[in-house]
Amino acid sequence: MITVLRAGPLTTVQDLGRPGWAHLGVPRSGALDAPALGLANRFVGNPDDAAGLETTLLGCTLRFAAPALVAVTGALAAIDVDQRPVERPGGCQLFEVPAGGVVDIGPAIRGVRSYLAVAGGIVVEPVLGSRSTDTLSGLGPDRLTDGAVLPVGTATGAPAVGEPARIGGEFVLGLRRGPRDDWCDLTGLFGTPYTIGPLSNRIGTRLAGTALTRAKAGELPSEGVVLGAVQVPADGRPIVFLADHPTTGGYPVIGVVDDVTPLAQARPGTTVRFRELD
């Protein structure tokens, strides 16, 4: 068992989500930085889709009741085991925790979200085939609070190796137009830098910068929305939908980003540009 001593502002249980339920109004959810979670799982011998913990900006502190093999990937942050620092070369680390040991993941130095995997995985009760916390619909386990207790499964696999992705710098997002790209003037979309807004979360990344102007008046009926959809609300500033996005929306979707993974580690103020895809 793992006891949460300090939950941090938003630490959740995440696996690779529950895709395939959008027709029933259920978002896919899952780790925002799925490659980082998969890498952490491989480090401890878990399958890529095992559940781990996703921390946000300020990390968390955990006590392990039994000896455990643990890996942390994603955002660069200081890690202590029983107040002793763990070296983290290359941005990821595999380490052992003794029975009763306390692991502290500190504030993110670079990036936003860290991923902790423990050999055997976090084995909370699955909902619709996933153990992910969905912050929009409320499905899955609650977001962690101080004092929460998490069960750990039995380790079965052999640890593997891998290389973490680079975090930082300017992000360029590939975007395919449609289905409602004719509802806005997109002249400046591909040549204008945007920045990550402070109200971004697991539902979507809100962009600050030049507002897009409407090319059509009127309103649309609600339509299906997918991961990476770029919606333009009334203020004209795009929102890129992430893992906990709603399954329908009424504002025009002017395109879809082909890979939203970089946005999982993009801090407020980070520069984002769009690149048009065929």
Contact 162, 90 (CB under 8 A): no
Looking at the structure, tell me whether residues 221 and 124 fall in a common domain.
Answer: no
Q: For residues 134 and 209, state if they share a domain.
A: no
For each of the chain's 278 residues, which pLDDT tens digit applies? 999 999 999 999 999 999 999 988 998 999 999 999 999 999 999 999 999 999 999 999 999 999 999 999 999 999 999 999 987 655 568 899 999 999 999 999 999 999 999 999 999 999 999 999 999 989 999 999 999 999 999 988 887 877 777 777 778 999 999 999 999 999 889 988 999 999 999 999 999 998 999 999 888 999 999 999 999 999 999 999 999 999 999 999 999 999 999 999 999 999 999 999 98
Per-residue confidence (pLDDT) for residue 247, from 0 to 100: 93
Say if 162 falls within a structural domain. Answer: no
Q: Are residues 28 and 139 in the same domain?
A: yes
Percent of the chain with pLDDT over 90: 84
Structural domain including 266 reads 171-276
- Strand 171-177, strand 271-276: pairing: parallel
Is 116 contained in some domain?
A: yes
Q: Is residue 159 one of the residues assigned to a domain?
A: no
CA dihedral defined by 73, 74, 78, 83, rounded to 10 degrees?
A: -40
Q: What pLDDT does residue 157 have?
A: 80
Which token pair is 111?
């990036």
Asked whether residue 98 is assigned to any structural domain, the reply reads yes
Whether pTM > 0.85 for this model: the answer is: yes
Residue 218 lies in a domain: yes
- With tokens 């994603």, the residue in question is 74
- Look at residue 29 in the predicted model and tell me its pLDDT: 95
| Residue 182 included in any domain | yes
Which CATH number covers residue 182?
A: 2.40.100.10
Domains in the chain, number: 2
In this predicted structure, what is the pLDDT of residue 89?
A: 56
Strands (E) in the chain, as ranges, are 2-6, 12-14, 52-54, 60-64, 68-81, 84-85, 93-97, 102-118, 149-150, 171-177, 194-196, 204-208, 223-224, 229-231, 239-241, 248-249, 253-257, 271-276
Domain-located, residue 161: no
**Which of 150, 179, 204 is the last residue in one of the domains?**
150
d(CA 40, CA 26): 27
